[in-house]
Amino acid sequence: MDQNLQTIFLIIVLAPLAAAAVVGLLMRFVPRAASHWLTIVGVGISCVLSLYVLWQMTFAGAGTENVTVYTWGIADGVHFQVGFLVDRLTALMISVVTFVSLMVHIYTIGYMHDDPGYKRFFSYISLFTFSMLMLVMSNNFLQLFFGWEAVGLVSYLLIGFWYTRPTAIYANLKAFLVNRVGDFGFLLGIALVLTYTGSLDYADVFAKAPALSGQTIQLFGAHVWAVPTVICILLFVGAMGKSAQVPLHVWLPDSMEGPTPISALIHAATMVTAGIFMVARMSPLFELSNTALSVVMVIGAITAFFMGLVGVVQNDIKRVIAYSTLSQLGYMTTALGASAYAAGIFHLMTHAFFKALLFLAAGSVIIAMHHEQDMRKMGGLRKYMPITYWTFVVGSLALIAFPGFSGFFSKDTIIDAVHESQRAGSGFAYWCVLLGAFVTALYTFRALFMTFHGKERFTIEAGHGHGHDDHGHHGLTHPPKESPWVVTLPLVMLAIPSVVIGWITCKAVLYGGYFGSAIYVSPSHHVMEKLGEEFHGSGAMVLASLTSPTLYIALAGVLVAWFCYIKRPELPGAIAQRSKFLYRMLANKFYFDEINAFFVAGGARALGTALWKGGDTAIIDGVLVDGSARSVRWFAGILRRYQSGYLYHYAFTMIIGLCALLGWLLLK
């Protein structure tokens, strides 16, 4: 039984890797159809087995599995190992990852149909699935870091998938570098863990965690810091990079340069939630530091509200959803900060389904519009593409937490948990997440209305006969049409959990102690327990929402969106005119990009040039190296004059010397 499970874990991880390797390395020899079949079968195997593991863990009473696969290396007595820790938290994560990945694989057949990089794309997304599984199944920090960087690598490759586009290759470099800033903190955090616990295995570290709480470290001057606080804040810096929290969020909107399937898989459903998962996994450490958790909560709340605001003024349909993802990641982070880890992970799961759905639906629209992403050139698409429309509606309702839809159960719980929390910063965070609900509804329905309702703002130029490659051209050669079944099937498959997953699992995941020992909450941080006392089932929760402010705040957002974009479409322009400062702040995304480009990128180049030209070239080479060569030549030049070879020079010198010597003797 255990042996079986261990074999299954290996297959889960290796099946996508094998498929990626075959398709990627033997690309020339693998036929086009084989590339998608191989990878789909690989990920399909992983998905089925993951669901089996989830079933075993949830219903068949299988316990936590902690297995070592091989020893990576032994340095100085520290065993670095590669292995799996699979408990219910992991089982849930691998099921979500492989399911969404499978849907995206199928969808890609349709979306990338005409792309010359078809095979390369399948190889990359399978490689991504492998990396993500390594990350979430790890039982130690080394493998966690491996997975962490590997997903970053694949994200880099996929954002820059269309490598001839200047914007894409700018975005992928930016994404990698910003993530490296986060990894900087992450790695230091891991190093501190090793320094203070002597191990990098989760089980060892967590067992020794309580002993950390009394220890202190001196960083600046005489002030001492609690070790858990420093460790957790550093680890969280890593999470801020990967899960795109302010101020390291800047890479995520730009990552939309990648093809839409990966926006759904990597930049919405899975990779960006790695930070959330990591913090939940590290709950035994984070629970030791109220300071660190306050930082987590406040950063999350700022991201949740302010990034949502930016989403309101975006016109690119993918960017709206991207800012929405930032905002929702902020919600998850806020939940972690409130010690409501279960709620954070629950929102991670529901969000994975409905956000992947929204992205893929947006992708379906983009195909129909011949790669036009500007919503100002859409409108009225509802009648052309009914399946896309209705699945988009489902995703939207889930996103705005409409009672009954999956997002409702997770997001309302987060808002309640933050309300309940007594931690420093929770007051601020509560207002952020509450007002965030209004903003969410506003941008979501703005996108829905601008895309699918109202007047058609595109023209159909019949009979012009320009080819498929005319992307970005405003006119379409034929009316937009519904996408093929490989595209719509995943939409429907994702729409189902977007509706029902909350109903079914809410009670167990949030209040039933589903995660067991996987998530540790200190008894004094019992936010979820308190909420649990008021919880009387999913149905009751839906009913109770009718009397809570959250629902009406969200409905107000929908109403405002309807008024501004359906009823009086001229209004938004007028508002933007009136409040220029606010509009400019939002349209320029609070100027984060400009500040980074100037200070960070410009600063690094200026410093590099100064050190090179000033340090290496001028001082070291100019003064010291060539300078010493020059001084040798100069000195030799002087010496040379004394060896002129003329007899009378020497004779004169001798006479002068003789005179001087005699004079000195006489005068003495």
Partner 1 sequence: MTAHFPILSVLLWLPIVGGLVVLAAGRVAPTSVRWLALLFSLVTFAVSLPLWTQFDTSTASMQFVENIPWISTFNVHYALGVDGIAMPLILLTTFMTVLVVIAGWEVIQYKLAQYMAAFLIMEGLMDGVFSATDGLLFYVLWEAMLIPMFIIIGVWGGPRRVYATIKFFLYTFLGSVFMLVAIIYMYVQSGSFDIQTFQQMPLGMTAQILIFVAFLLAFAVKVPMWPVHTWLPDAHVEAPTGGSVILAAILLKMGAYGFLRFSMPIAPDASQSLTWLIVALSLIAIIYIGFVAIVQADMKKLVAYSSVAHMGFVTLGFFLLFMIFGKTASVSGTAMGVEGGMIQMISHGFISGAMFLCVGVLYDRLHTREIKAYGGVINMMPAFAFFFVLFAMANCGLPGTSGFVGEWLVILTAMKANFWIAFGAAFTLFLGAAYSLWLVKRVLYGPVGNDHVADMKDISKREFLILGLCAIPVIVFGIWPAPLLDVMHASVMNLVHHVVQSKL
Nearer to partner 1, 72 or 390 (CB): 72
Least distance from C-beta 600 to partner 1, angstroms?
10
CA distances from 216 to 110, 206, 222, 231, 365 (A): 56, 18, 11, 11, 55
Q: Is 498 left (phi over 0), alpha (psi -120 to 50) or beta?
A: alpha
Using a 10 angstrom Cβ sphere, with 0-12 exposed, 13-18 middle and 19 or more buried, the burial of residue 92 is buried
To 10 degrees, what angle do helices 386-399 and 341-368 make? 160
Q: Residue 460 or residue 619: which is nearer to partner 1 going by CB? A: 619
Smallest gap from residue 184 Cβ to partner 1 (A): 5
- For the bound state, the minimum distance from the C-beta of residue 90 to partner 1, rounded and expressed in Å, comes to 20
Q: Pick the closer one to partner 1 by CB: 51 or 217.
A: 217
Considering beta carbons, is residue 611 or 655 the nearer one to partner 1? 611
Of 118, 50, 39, the closest CA to residue 86 belongs to 50
> What is the smallest separation between the CB atom of 195 and partner 1, expressed in angstroms?
5
How many CA atoms does the CB half-sphere of 388 hold within 13 Å? 30
Beta carbons of 155 and 266 less than 8 angstroms apart: yes
Nearest residue (CB) to partner 1, 543 versus 607: 607
Nearer to partner 1, 183 or 412 (CB): 183
Q: How far is the CB of 457 from partner 1 (least distance, A)?
A: 31
Answer whether 525's CB lies under 8 Å from 422's CB. Answer: no
d(CA 295, CA 298): 5
Q: Return the number of the residue (160 or 379) whose C-beta is nearest partner 1.
A: 160
CA proximity to 265, closest of 501, 107, 39, 407: 107
In 3D space, the residue among 271, 305, 291 whose CA is nearest the CA of residue 337 turns out to be: 291
Q: How far is the CB of 16 from partner 1 (least distance, A)?
A: 15
Length of the chain: 668
Q: Closer CB to partner 1, residue 543 or residue 618?
A: 618
**Distance, CA of 357 to CA of 364 (rounded, Å):** 10
| CA end-to-end distance (rounded Å), the chain | 111
User: Helix, strand, or coil here: 56?
Assistant: helix
Q: Which is nearer to partner 1, 609 or 644 (CB)?
A: 609
Rounded-to-integer distance, Cα 334 and Cα 94, Å: 23
Nearer of residues 103 and 234 to partner 1, judged by Cβ: 234
Q: Which whole-number Å values give the CA distances from 287 to 195, 210, 292, 523, in the listed order?
A: 19, 10, 9, 10
CB of 441 to partner 1, least distance (A): 38
Phi-psi category of 513—alpha, beta or left, where left has phi over 0 and alpha has psi -120 to 50? left
Closest-CA residue to 351 (of 490, 246, 498): 498
Nearest C-alpha neighbor of 262 from the set 46, 92, 112, 367: 112
Nearest to partner 1 of 144, 288 (CB atom)? 144
Cβ at position 508, least distance to partner 1 in Å: 35
Closest of 352, 343, 327, 358 to residue 253, by C-alpha: 327
Task: Give the residue with the Cβ less far from partner 1, 166 or 467.
Answer: 166
* DSSP-assigned letter for residue 483: P
Closer residue to partner 1 (CB): 636 or 665: 636
Q: Contact residues for partner 1 (CB under 8 A)?
A: 70-78, 142, 145-146, 149-150, 153, 156-157, 160, 163-164, 166, 169-170, 173, 176-177, 180-181, 183-184, 187-188, 190-192, 194-195, 217, 219, 604-605, 607-609, 611-612, 615-616, 620-621, 624-625
- Cα 541 from Cα 99, distance rounded (Å): 28
Q: Report the residue number, 79 or 419, with the smaller CB distance to partner 1.
A: 79
Closest approach, Cβ 146 to partner 1, in A, equals 4
Closest approach, Cβ 637 to partner 1, in A, equals 19
Provide the minimum distance between the beta carbon of 272 and partner 1 in the complex, in angstroms, as a whole number: 19
Q: Which residue, 52 or 146, has its beta carbon nearer to partner 1? A: 146
What DSSP assignment string belongs to 574-622? HHHHHTHHHHHHHHTGGGHHHHIIIIIIHHHHHHHHIIIIIIIIIIIII
Q: Which amino acid belongs to residue 29?
A: F
Closest approach of partner 1 to the CB of residue 122, in Å: 16
Which DSSP state fits 101? Answer: H
- Shortest CB 655 distance to partner 1, Å: 41
Taking the complex as a whole, the smallest distance from the CB of residue 636 to partner 1 amounts, in Å, to: 15
CB 429 within 8 A of CB 337: yes
| Nearby residues of 519 by Cβ (< 8 Å), 6 or more positions away | 89, 280, 283, 341, 342, 345
Minimum CB–partner distance for residue 199 and partner 1 (Å):
12
